Amino acid sequence: MSLVVQKFGGSSVADAASIKRVAQRIVEYRKAGHEVVVVVSAMGDTTDDLIDLAQQVSPMPPARELDMLLTAGERISMAVLAMAIANLGFNAKSFTGSQAGMITDESFGRARIIDVTPGRIRSALDTGNIAIVAGFQGVSQTTKNITTLGRGGSDTTAVALAAALNADVCEIYTDVDGVFTADPRIAPAASRIETITFEEMLEMAASGAKVLHLRAVEYARRYNVPIHCRSSFSHNQGTWVTDDPIPAEFRPRRKPGALTPEGTDTEETDTTMEQAIISGVAHDRSEAKLTIVGVPDIPGKAAQIFTIMAKTEINIDMIVQNISTRDPGRTDISFTLPASDGAKATRALEDAKSEIGFDHMRYDDQIGKLSVIGAGMRSHPGVTAKLFEALSDAHINIDMISTSEIRISVVTRADLLDEAVRVAHSAYGLDAEEVEAIVYGGTGR
Ligand code: ASP
Ligand code: MG
């Protein structure tokens, strides 16, 4: 008997009809003999609605109360789902994050999981129940206050539970058929990635791919939890995130059309295909670029600037430093940061202007970041040149560049980003012959 953790996002449990459909699917697994733990997000846009509600009564709601409020969203979906399952004649019990043993630190709104003690979940399973757990929430070890893990945190709940229960797979159900070689809304020729390593998926998520939550992938990698990211609107195979072969029991069957607990198989696995050098193209529109002009070119200035950014808790992404063309004793430092932190960053630096001794700042939020990711880069020279060539052929100017061992990222003008994604996708031969991506609605979460 295997243990499956299944996570359903907000768009998969948006209304009564969706919840009934999800309940059917969960029950299919139980019938096939699996133990099933389900993690749910709040229905549809409930979390956003609750945030709006809080803001209507207070411009700065106390963090403790905001977390208490937001966890209500997941409590609704967990109880309603348990009822829908009971209605199909199966035993189901719902648990809050705290009842499920999700122990966190005390930071409201972005709590970190420090321990998972799923004793009650284990006994619910042992007595033949399907366990339903509210995602995105936990309880502080010290204060016993209720906490939330941050937006999109239900993925992390699911992976953490899967790790603690030693599950065979953590299935993350969303409204797309898995992880694609690019966002199909931008590059219609994108195709589903069958399997991807943790390392590559981490780079994809960190570079703007939104299907899986970054923290969940980090957690999965640390505890080696295989993730199967797939659509709750179809029975197709999705994308496996794992460094190991897909567990035999869940491997796509050889016979297309065969009915399996996971549904009808639509394809055969082709093991002869050589691993692509590039796994995917990600993009990110959420960053801005800040240039500090005329910084004295002496030791310690960069340290000063980035210490201020660190103290302001701003995550810096790319950094470029150039000798100023106008004044040889000075340098210009540019870096990218989340656009949502733009005002905070410029204020903090403005305050330290005379101390640092720079001339002025330029802020640009009309930028886009394109990243190509693939472990094959390590052993194949020329991958970078190919990207630059393709962008140049399309007359797309590159503003900044950064690389890791398995990723190349470039900053372009925001309005050229979509084209840059398509061009890069084609250049690495990722374009599918037939359009295969179906977006089933919702927001991609
Ligand atoms: N409901 C929460 C959110 O919308 C958590 C989640 O969906 O994972 O952010
Ligand atoms: Mg949500």
Q: What is the pLDDT of residues 281-300, one digit of tens each?
A: 999 999 999 999 999 999 99
Q: Considering only CA atoms, which residue is closest to atom 6 of ligand 1?
A: 152
CB 391 within 8 A of CB 385: no
Tell me how far the alpha carbon of residue 337 lies from the centroid of ligand 2, in angstroms: 24
pLDDT at 212: 93
| Percent of residues, the chain, with pLDDT higher than 70 | 93
Rounded CA gap, 347 and 33, in Å? 58
> Which atom, in ligand 1's list, is nearest to the CA of 45?
4
Q: How far is ligand 2, taken at its centre, from the CA of residue 44, in Å?
A: 7
442 lines ligand 1 (CB under 6 A): no
For the CA of 74, the closest atom of ligand 1 is: 1
Whole-number Å distance, alpha carbon 172 to ligand 2 midpoint, is 13
Residue 287 pLDDT: 97
Nearest residue to 175 (alpha-carbon basis) of 47, 19, 10, 6:
10
In the reported structure, the alpha carbon of residue 41 is separated from the centroid of ligand 2 by a whole-number distance in angstroms of: 6
Which one, of 315, 248, 261, 319, lies nearest residue 290 by Cα? 319
In angstroms, the CA 360 to CA 333 distance is 11
Ligand 1 pocket, 43 CB below 6 A? no
With H, G, I as helix, E, B as strand and everything else as coil, classify residue 299: coil
Q: Determine if ligand 1 sits within 6 Å of the CB of residue 73.
A: yes
Quote the ligand 2 centre to 267 CA distance (angstroms): 31
Question: Does 154 sit in the ligand 1 pocket, CB within 6 Å?
Answer: yes
For the chain, residues with pLDDT lower than 50 are 255-259, 268-273, 442-445
CA distance 166 to 412: 43
> Which atom of ligand 1 is found nearest the CA of 150?
9
Rounded Cα distance, 178 and 191, in Å: 10
> DSSP for 313-377?
T-----EEEEE-SS-TTEEEEEEEEEGGGHHHHHHHHHHTHHHHT--EEEEE--EEEEEEE-GGG
Contact indicator for 314, 339 with CB cutoff of 8 Å:
no
Question: What DSSP designation does 260 have?
Answer: E
Q: Dihedrals φ, ψ of 76, to 5°?
A: -65, -50
140's enclosing H/E stretch is strand 137-140
**pLDDT for 275:** 61
Question: What pLDDT is recorded for position 322?
Answer: 87
* Beta carbons of 142 and 103 less than 8 angstroms apart: no
For residue 35, what are its two tokens?
Answer: 């133990």
* Angle between the N-to-C axes of helices 63-87 and 46-57, in degrees from 0 to 180, rounded to the nearest 10: 150
Sequence-separated (6 or more) residues with CB below 8 Å from residue 292:
305, 332, 333, 334, 349, 356, 358, 361
The ligand with the least distance to the CA atom of 51 is: 1
Dist CA 224 CA 186 (whole Å): 32
Please choose from 40, 69, 136 the residue to mutate so as to test ligand 1's pocket, defined by most ligand atoms within 8 A of CB: 136
Ligand 1 mutation target, pool 13, 47, 66, 170, most atoms within 8 A of CB? 47
| Listed residue (113, 108, 110, 81) closest to 97, CA to CA | 113
Confidence (pLDDT) at 262: 54
Report how many helices (DSSP H) and strands (DSSP E) the chain contains, helices first: 12, 22
* Best probe residue, ligand 1, of 38, 151, 210, 229 (max atoms within 8 Å of C-beta): 151
Instruction: Give residue 190 CA to ligand 1 midpoint distance, Å.
Output: 26
Residue with the two structure tokens 């829908």: 84
Confirm or reject: Cβ of 374 under 6 Å from ligand 1.
no
Ligand 1 pocket residue status of 8, Cβ below 6 Å:
no
- Contact in structure between 137 and 148 (CB atoms under 8 Å): yes
Q: Is the CB of 42 under 6 A from ligand 1?
A: yes
Of the listed ligands, the closest to the CA of 149 is 1
Of all ligands present, the nearest one to the C-alpha of 50 is 1
State if residue 77 touches ligand 1 by the CB under 6 angstroms criterion.
no
Ligand 1 atom closest to Cα of 151? 9
Residue 272's SS3 state is coil
Cα of 320 from ligand 2 centre, angstroms: 35
Q: How far is the centre of ligand 2, averaged over its atoms, from the C-alpha of 314 (Å)? A: 24
pLDDT score, position 175: 87
CB of 136 closer than 6 A to ligand 1?
yes
Pocket test for ligand 1, best of 13, 41, 219 (most atoms within 8 A of CB): 41
Ligand nearest to the CA of 74: 1
Distance 287 CA to ligand 2 centre (A): 22
The whole-angstrom separation of Cα 84 and Cα 78 is 10
Q: Does the CB atom of residue 41 touch ligand 1 within 6 A?
A: yes
Residue-wise over 406-442: b if at least 16 C-beta within 10 A, else e? bbbbbbbebebbbbbbbbbbebbebbbeeeebebeeb
- Against a cut of 0.85, is the pTM above it? yes
3-state secondary structure of 432: coil
Spell out the alpha helix ranges (H) of 134-276: 154-164, 198-206, 214-223
